[in-house]
Amino acid sequence: MRAKLGVLLVIAMMTTSCELLQQVVDAQATAGMLPGVTYEAADLVEAPSRSAMSAWMCPRVLVDGGFSASVAQVACLPLGFAPPSASLRVSFDLRFKVANPNNFPIPVAQLLIAAKVFPGAGVQTLGAVCVQFCQPGQAGCTGQPGPGACAANGQDIRSAEDFRRAAANLLLATGIQALGGQQPTFEMPQVMSGQELTLVARFSFGPEALLAILQKVAKQSLSQLQGGKKVVFSIPYDIEGSVWFDVGSLGRVAVGYGPASGTWVLPDQALVL
């Protein structure tokens, strides 16, 4: 009788231990771990040609330099007709990898990017934008952030508040895509369980805002423009930001990326999306 009771006690203890172990496993499975975010590059994907930008800049820079409008017009003739400002848009793809160490999918909820052009120079300008992604099929999705979007959940995370002094309309969001050539949208990307996904977020500079900065820089090339020569337009930049995820019981968490530096150079031939 005692032997039977002992066996039953052992079985009960084993059953309880297994149940506790399963509870621990289940708790770990749903607790959530922080995803990894690795910045890769900011690729120039849309830009006017050097000729088009030089033709647009030439008369403006010469007049600002003290030349009359008639003299500027003659001097700029070799560069051709100035294109409309709206055609001089510059866009780039921000590319990074997201690794999901969890055994459940995690959505990318929000994305913050801050881009500083001509850092350290007298014309340094900061642009920033917060993007809020929408549920699949949500009508009227524009990526516009709602109240509290891109808010910090830790002192080491860059938030929208950190860039409240950014210039208006310098940086505009176009959408995000998984690498593969899809059209950018504002639909919430999903990073599947245990996988790594390359995401590409597309941004454009507001033409008027960027042209005002480049015009100040182009004054350094006044003599070239006066001689009817094309100018090399280089745009150095610093980029940083944060990505927000919905991670199980951890709730909405942010992971930072950057700062990273580089230079975009406007090409000889226009880049067209």
Q: For 91-122, how does the pLDDT look when each residue is reduced to its tens digit (9 = 90+)?
A: 999 999 999 999 999 999 999 999 999 998 88
Average pLDDT in the chain: 86
Q: What is the pTM of this model?
A: 0.84
Encode pLDDT of 170-228 as tens digits.
Answer: 999 999 875 556 678 899 989 999 999 998 999 999 999 999 999 999 999 999 999 99
Please state the φ and ψ torsions of residue 20, each to the nearest 5 degrees. -65, -40
Mean local confidence (pLDDT), 265-271: 95
- In this structure, is the dihedral angle defined by the CA atoms of residues 101, 107, 110 and 112, taken in order, positive or negative? positive
- pLDDT tens for 137-180 read 888 888 999 898 999 876 678 999 999 999 988 999 999 875 55
Angle at 31 between CA 13 and CA 95, to 5 degrees: 150
* 59 vs 231: CA distance, rounded Å: 13
Q: Domain extents for the chain?
A: 34-265
